[in-house]
Chains A and B, each alone.
Chain A
Amino acid sequence: MTAPLLSVRNLRVEFPNRRARLVAIDDVSFEIGRGEILGLVGESGAGKSVTGAAIMGLLEPPGHMTGGEIRLDGTRIDTMPIDQLRRIRGKRIGMVFQDPLTSLNPVYRIGAQITETMRVHANISEADARARAIALLAEVGIPAPENRIDAYPHELSGGMRQRVVLALVLCTEPELIIADEPTTALDVSVQAQIIALIKALARNRGTSVMLITHDMGVIAEVADRVAVMYAGRIAEIGPVRDVLKAPQHPYARGLMGAIPSLAKKAAGHDGRLTLIPGNMPRLSAIPEGCAFNPRCGEAIDRCRAERPSLLPAATSHVACWRVTS
C-alpha cells in the first residue's frame, strides 16, 4: 500500500472548563488511503465531529489539540501556521456540513459563491470559472445548470442545496472531503440520491472521503472501511462488511443489535431490540480502563484497570481485552 493521504496519529483533543479538562478525543489514530471512503460512526458525544474539526483546524475554543499529529500526504498540518493552513483548507480538504442552508450564503447567487471559491484558490478568469461552475452543477445532478447558477440558495430544495454544497466543495478539486452528517437533514429518497452522488464522485475523481454519520445504513452503502467511536476513542475499525456483519467489540455488537431492521421483524427474542445497559458516560466521568467496561457484560478485571489498545483482530483492529488477548 502506498502512503496514506491522511494520517491521524494519537490525536488528543481537550476542552478545558473551570472544573476540569474534558478529553473529547483520547488517543485516536487512523488513516485514509487515496480514493478511500472511511466512515466514522458513533452516538452523540462520541467525538466524531470533533475529529473532523481537528483535521480541518476548526476546533472551537476552548477546545484544542493537546497531543498527536495530523498529516496530509506526509506533511504535518496541525502545526502549520494559519496562512498556510488556509491554502489547504477548502483547496485540498473540502468540508460538507449537515445543514446545506447554513453552509451557503443566503444573499449571494450560488454561481457567485462557486466562482469566488475557485478564484480564491486558482488563477482563472471569471468567464472560465463560470463555465466550470456550470459543468460542476451538471456533474452533481442539478437540472438546467445554466439557469440554476443564478438562483439564490432559498430558491432550491434541501436536496438541491446539498448538491450545490458538493459542487462548491468540488470546485477546488480537493483530495479529501470531510462530510459531517451530509444526509441527516434530508428525506430518505433524497438521501439515497446524495449517497449515490458522493459514492460516484469518490470513484470517478479518486477523492478520499471521511464520512461522519450516526446512520449505520448510510455507512453500509458508501464506506469502504468504518471506525466505530465510543467516548472519544475508536472501539473498532475495519472493512465495512466485517465490522457491520460481525462486529467484535461488545459496544459495536450492542449498537448493531439496537438498530431495528427493515429485513426482519425481530432483532432479539420476542421482537425486542437488544439493549446496551446504561448510558454513555459524561466526558467529565469517563471510566478507568476501557471506557465501555461498566456497560459491558463481558468485562474482566483487566478492563477496569487498563485501557485496551487498538490491536489487530481478524481483518479489523479492535480495542478490547477480551477480543485481542
Chain B
Amino acid sequence: MKDTPVKALVEVDHLWRRFDVSKPWLNRLIEGAPRQTLTAVADVSFEIIRRETFALVGESGSGKSTVAKIIVGLIAPSAGDVRIDGISMSDPAAAAQRAQLRRRIQMIFQDPFASLNPRWRVARVVAEPLRAFGLMTEQQAIEVRVAELLTLVGLSPEDAVKYPHEFSGGQRQRVAIARALAANPEFIVCDEPTSALDVSVQAQILNLMRDLQDQLGLTYLFISHNLAVVRHMASRIGVLYLGRLVEIATPDELFGNPQHPYTRLLLDAVPDLEMTGRVRAAVEGEIPNPISPPSGCAFHPRCPLAFERCRSERPELAAAGGRMVACHAVAADAR
C-alpha cells in the first residue's frame, strides 16, 4: 500500500507499546523478582486512507484497543509514531498543530452504559465537544446543533432533555455517536462499538455508521473481535496476534483466501451459521502469555505449518499477492 498515490489520512509507523507489569519495588527487593514488561503492541505499521474503514481484528490481548488508544492520543507509544494528516501525535514540536487536530478525531467506545455521564442530560453530553473545543458559545446555537445531531443519528430532538438511563443500549450508542459527530470530525476510532448490543440493535448501529460515513465522508478505524461484523464494515482488515500484525488484506481476499495460518485458524473457529457441515480443523491451544511470548514467530507453537526458521526468526510483514502477510511458510510458498 506504500505506493498508492492517495495520501493516507492516518499513518501508523512502527508503533510499539510496552507496559511495566513488575511487582512493586519492595517485592522485587525481597523476592528478587525481576522487572517484567508486557509488550502490548509490537512494531505495528499500517495506513488508513481517507473515507475508508480500516478494521483491526484479534482475540483478547492482541493489542487492538491499545493501538486505538495510541492513535487517538489517550496513551503514548513507547516507540514509533502516529501521523494524522501529516501531523505527529507524539512530537513535542507539533503540539500547536496537534491541538487543532484534536477536534478532527473522535472515539466511540464499546460500552454505552459507561461512556455517558449518568448525571448529565443528553443535551449536555452531546454539546460537550462543542464547548470543549470552543466551537459554539451561544446557547441558542448549541441547542439547534444538538437537535440536528440527534436527528442525524435517528433520535428525536425532544430526547435532549432526557438522562442516559432513560435509553436502551442501542439508543445510548446513538447518543455516543451524536457526541462523536458534534465537532465535525473526519476520523472516528470505533472500539467494539456494537459488542455490547443485541444483534437486531447491532444491525441498526452498523447501518447508521455506514450511512453517516457516506453522508459525512468519515474515515473509520473499526476495532472488533467479531469477524462477521468486520467483513460487513471494513474496506481493509488487519489481523493482530500478540501485538503484531500478521496479515493485512481486503475482506474478499481475507475471507475468500486467508493466507496466514492464524487468520485461517480464526476464520475456522467462527461458528458456521450457514451450516455447510464443513469439518473444521481442531484448534490447538490458546494465546500465549504476552509477558513471555514465544521466540521467532509468536504463533509458531500453535501453527501447523511451522518449521525451523519460524522458531528462531521473526517474519516481517511482506507483500504477498496484493496483500501483506508475516509468515515464513507463506513467503516460501510464494517463491
Contact B198 A43 (CB under 8 A): yes
Residues of chain B from 272 to 307 with CB closer than 8 A to chain A in the complex: 272-275, 280, 282-283, 286-287
A21-44 vs B, Cβ < 8 Å mask (1 yes, 0 no): 000000000000000000000011
Contact A157 B286 (CB under 8 A): yes
CB closest residue in chain B, given A43: B198
Contact B199 A259 (CB under 8 A): yes
Question: For chains A and B in complex, what number of residue pairs have CB atoms within 8 angstroms?
Answer: 121
A239-279 vs B, Cβ < 8 Å mask (1 yes, 0 no): 01100110000000011011111110101000111111001
Q: How far is the CB of A150 from chain B (nearest CB, A)?
A: 20
Chain B residues with CB below 8 A from A275, complex form: 200, 203-204, 207
B222-258 vs A, Cβ < 8 Å mask (1 yes, 0 no): 0001111101100000000000000000011001000
Contact B227 A262 (CB under 8 A): yes
Is the contact region of chain B dominated by helix, strand, or loop, or is it mixed? helix
Q: How far is the CB of B286 from chain A (nearest CB, A)?
A: 5
Contact A279 B232 (CB under 8 A): no
Chain A residues with CB below 8 A from B266, complex form: 188-189
Partner of A188, one of B59, B202, B207, B274: B59
Contact A258 B202 (CB under 8 A): yes
| Residues of B within 8 A of A (CB-CB), count | 42
CB closest residue in chain B, given A273: B203
Contact A215 B228 (CB under 8 A): no
In the assembled complex, B206 has its CB within 8 A of some CB on chain A: yes
Knowing A262-B231, A273-B207, the reply to whether A189 touches B283 (Cβ < 8 A) is: yes
Contact A217 B200 (CB under 8 A): no
Partner of A187, one of B225, B232, B255: B225
Contact B273 A241 (CB under 8 A): no
Residues of chain A from 207 to 227 with CB closer than 8 A to chain B in the complex: 214-218, 220-221
Bound-state CA distance A257–B199 (Å) is: 10
Point out which of A215, A218, A220, A263 has the most chain B C-beta atoms below 10 A from its C-beta. A263
Contact B200 A255 (CB under 8 A): yes
Contact A260 B206 (CB under 8 A): yes
B170-206 vs A, Cβ < 8 Å mask (1 yes, 0 no): 1100000000000000000000000000111111101
Contact A262 B59 (CB under 8 A): no
Contact A192 B269 (CB under 8 A): yes
Contact A188 B275 (CB under 8 A): no
In the assembled complex, A299 has its CB within 8 A of some CB on chain B: no
Contact B286 A216 (CB under 8 A): no
In the assembled complex, A182 has its CB within 8 A of some CB on chain B: no
A contact residues, range:
35 or more
Bound-state CA distance A209–B203 (Å) is: 30
Chain B residues with CB below 8 A from A244, complex form: 273, 275
Q: How far is the CB of B148 from chain A (nearest CB, A)?
A: 23
In the assembled complex, A57 has its CB within 8 A of some CB on chain B: no
Contact A272 B228 (CB under 8 A): no
Chain B residues with CB below 8 A from A261, complex form: 228, 231-232, 273-274
Contact B203 A215 (CB under 8 A): no
Contact A159 B59 (CB under 8 A): no
Partner of B168, one of A263, A271, A274, A279: A279
Q: How far is the CB of B295 from chain A (nearest CB, A)?
A: 21
CB closest residue in chain A, given B227: A262
In the assembled complex, A112 has its CB within 8 A of some CB on chain B: no
Bound-state CA distance A255–B269 (Å) is: 22
CB closest residue in chain B, given A270: B210
Partner of A220, one of B206, B267, B273, B282: B273
Bound-state CA distance A194–B204 (Å) is: 30
Contact A262 B270 (CB under 8 A): yes
In the assembled complex, A117 has its CB within 8 A of some CB on chain B: no
Chain A residues with CB below 8 A from B231, complex form: 260-262, 265
Q: How far is the CB of A214 from chain B (nearest CB, A)?
A: 7
Knowing A220-B273, A273-B232, the reply to whether A188 touches B200 (Cβ < 8 A) is: no
B144-174 vs A, Cβ < 8 Å mask (1 yes, 0 no): 0000000000000000000000001111000
Q: Which 9 A-B pairs have the closest CB atoms?
A: A217-B271, A258-B203, A260-B232, A43-B198, A192-B269, A187-B59, A273-B203, A260-B228, A189-B269
In the complex, 7 of the A-B residue pairs with CB atoms within 8 angstroms, ordered by the A residue number, are A43-B200, A214-B199, A216-B273, A221-B272, A241-B275, A258-B203, A276-B203
Other CB < 8 Å A-B pairs besides A43-B201, A192-B268, A192-B270, 14 of them? A187-B225, A189-B265, A189-B269, A189-B283, A193-B283, A245-B275, A254-B200, A260-B203, A260-B229, A262-B255, A262-B273, A265-B232, A273-B206, A275-B200
